[in-house]
Amino acid sequence: MQAEFEPIGVVRSPRKQLGDDFWGAVEAEIVLGERFSENAFAGIGDFSHVEVIFLLHRIDPGKVEMGARHPRERKDWPLVGIFAQRGATRPNRIGLSRAAIVAREGRVLRVRGLDAIDGTPVLDIKPWMEEFAPIGATRQPAWATELMQNYYKE
């Protein structure tokens, strides 16, 4: 089975390089491609957040992880499978992030906290709805909490 996707737009961000932390204050724009009218964003301003699905286009396909690794290559964290972490070296190089909506102007959606660098191809945008949050209590290992402690800090 083969799948092909055509990006719907591109990220314009002050962040030009990949990085692990401090995405919280980053304001970026998602610019829809020419084939979309600005009506594609009609009603988006009624939501506080969006989920953005994007291609991790700067990840070398030769560095994609197919098994397990130490997150951020830290040996003091456990060896875990690529599907038990959110690292960028994923098999299909697909990123998923939630971002706060700041403003919308025509075919441009300005967001805060999107962990995608300038030039990132956007595959889809979905409004965040509370009903898509996990039902019941959530849990995660201590290493994941430690890994994320500065991720969305300003």
- The tens-digit pLDDT sequence of the chain (154 residues) is 998 999 999 999 988 987 776 667 889 999 999 999 999 999 999 999 999 999 999 999 999 999 999 998 899 999 999 999 988 999 999 999 999 999 999 999 999 999 999 999 999 999 999 999 999 999 999 999 988 888 788 8
List of E strands, the chain: 9-12, 27-32, 49-55, 68-69, 80-81, 94-105, 108-112, 121-127
Domain 10-129+139-148 has CATH 2.40.50.1020: no
Contact 94, 55 (CB under 8 A): yes
Reading the block at residue 1, the tokens are 């089975």
List the chain domain ranges.
10-129+139-148
Give me the residues paired with residue 102 across strands: none
Q: Residue 23: its pLDDT value, please?
A: 67
Q: In this structure, how many other beta carbons lie within 10 angstroms of the beta carbon of residue 10?
A: 19
